[in-house]
Amino acid sequence: MITIEHLSKTYRKGAWALLDVSLQLDKGMTGLLGPNGAGKTTLMRILATLLAPTSGQVRVNGISITRPEEIRPMIGYLPQHFHIYPQLTGRDYLDYAAAMKGIKDREARRKEVARLLETVNLQDKADKKVRTYSGGMKQRLGIAQALLGSPGILIVDEPTSGLDPQERVRFRNVLTRFSIDRTVLLSTHIVADIESNCRRIAVMNMGRLVMSGTLGELQACGNGQVWEAVLSADEFSRVDPMQVVSTKALPEGILCRFVGKKPFMGAYPAEPSLEDGYLALLRRDRDV
């Protein structure tokens, strides 16, 4: 369990990258959602003890992150961008990463690496060089690296950007399996990644936590805020494009969806999706 209390971070001469964030993360997968620059990576790097906060407290299973040597064995971290030497094989890379994590005994390392290669379903490619891996295979290798030593907490930063849909689904399934008996924090700006995986959601915007709750609660943020209308091409050309969140071509015209205030008289109310709830929440936050 992770308890975050009044956490703030400012980079040198910068604005607040995090401002007074308080949040509790329990077992299971929590989705961390937010637009670019919301503060997700900053928060995750602090939790992984790679960055010191400016103020506030974080406890991992009751231990303060001011004691990183005690925290690090409990946490696996997959950063947004991670470097693997392309000349190494997947197996050699994991062996190296296991040595860096302090698994000194060669036989113990061999067993741990074999176990993780199987877990992320890379055993057939284990002895191929990383430069021959697809994006999804590299991400799975990244997850294997984060799982070295079986940490109870997994922090994964925007894992599916750049993956094709098939790889995304495979990667999500691997993560879902791990979240059953672990605390997993998964950051993304792709709402669909959260929808299929997460029990709970935290939404950040401009360094602040603007919502924390269930998927249903986020979806409900769109209640009374979602509108649809079928427009002709001419009518569509006169609509402010910033107001339209999606369109669909129909035989009778263009079905447009709007989030926010009723855009014009002829628009009719529609049921919000999770994405609509998220957009409504961000718009409300921007307008206050």
Ligand X SMILES: Nc1ncnc2c1ncn2[C@@H]1O[C@H](COP(=O)(O)OP(=O)(O)OP(=O)(O)O)[C@@H](O)[C@H]1O
43 or 175: CB nearest ligand X: 43
Q: Measured from the CB of residue 9, what is the shortest distance to ligand X in angstroms?
A: 8
Q: Measured from the CB of residue 51, what is the shortest distance to ligand X in angstroms?
A: 9
Q: Could you give the CA distance from residue 261 to residue 229 in angstroms, rounded to a whole number?
A: 14
Structure tokens at 75: 């946490």
Residues that bind ligand X (CB under 6 A): 11, 14, 17, 34, 36-42, 189
43 or 137: CB nearest ligand X: 43
Q: Measured from the CB of residue 10, what is the shortest distance to ligand X in angstroms?
A: 9
Q: Measured from the CB of residue 256, what is the shortest distance to ligand X in angstroms?
A: 27
Helices 165-179 and 135-146, axial angle in degrees (round to 10) = 10
Q: Could you give the CA distance from residue 239 to residue 60 in angstroms, rounded to a whole number?
A: 49
Sign of CA dihedral 181, 75, 97, 41: positive
14 or 241: CB nearest ligand X: 14
Q: Measured from the CB of residue 39, what is the shortest distance to ligand X in angstroms?
A: 4
18 or 122: CB nearest ligand X: 18
37 or 253: CB nearest ligand X: 37
39 or 151: CB nearest ligand X: 39
25 or 120: CB nearest ligand X: 25
Burial readout 237-248 (b: 16 or more C-beta within 10 A, e: otherwise): eebeeebbbeee
Q: Measured from the CB of residue 195, what is the shortest distance to ligand X in angstroms?
A: 18
Q: Measured from the CB of residue 262, what is the shortest distance to ligand X in angstroms?
A: 31
Q: Measured from the CB of residue 4, what is the shortest distance to ligand X in angstroms?
A: 14
25 or 116: CB nearest ligand X: 25
